Amino acid sequence: MSGPTGDGPQPSGVTTTSSAAPSWTDVLVAERDRLHRFVTSLAGHDPYHVEDVVQETLLRAWQLREELDWRERPIRMWLFRVARNLVIDGWRKDRVTPVGISAADFPEPLAVADPATLAVDRHMLVDALRGLAPVHREVVVHVHMVGTAGAEVARLLGVPRGTVKSRSHHGLRMLRRHFEGRQAAA
């Protein structure tokens, strides 16, 4: 896809109607919400930690703005990689078990049939996701909840595409077993 002047790709997430190319600030502002959701899916329910990671990621992007080729290539995957590395560094530093995903991480659906049923379903899904190994949870969240393409997830995680497929398959299989076990117990 060409940018507004037709001379190169448009930075991801940025739409402009004028003939001027988006500024670095415009690109970062356009990516901030998606970056925040991504970090929340990895780092869990602590909003202060999530905000720290997002701010540190944006600070690093700002400091490297002259070195990054953001006008020719989308910056999103670079931001996701930096954020992911910061989250992992935090886990290593604290030596704490990975933080789970909270129910607040999932947006409310547009049409609500029965709020009580939806709340129970969301709670059950969060519990099931907490039971997955971090590598499986990360892929399941990326592919099946955020909607990121498998090839992008592979690039982001630095693993082959087949590994993403395998982790997705195993993660979904573990989720299925979790829910089947709950149904049998009910």
9: confidence class by pLDDT, cuts 50, 70, 90: very low
Question: What per-residue confidence (pLDDT) applies to 99?
Answer: 54
Of 49 and 106, the structure prediction assigns the larger pLDDT to: 49
Q: What is the DSSP letter of 141?
A: I
Distances in Å between the alpha carbon of 118 and those of 137, 144, 150, 181? Answer: 21, 18, 28, 20
Question: What per-residue confidence (pLDDT) applies to 110?
Answer: 57
Q: What is the DSSP letter of 4?
A: T
pLDDT in tens, 125-146: 777 888 888 888 888 888 888 8
108: confidence class by pLDDT, cuts 50, 70, 90: low
Question: What per-residue confidence (pLDDT) applies to 27?
Answer: 81
Do 21 and 5 contact (CB within 8 A), yes or no? yes
Of 106 and 58, the structure prediction assigns the larger pLDDT to: 58
Domains and CATH numbers, the chain: 21-99 (1.10.1740), 103-186 (1.10.10.10)
CB atoms under 10 Å from CB of 40, counted, come to: 23
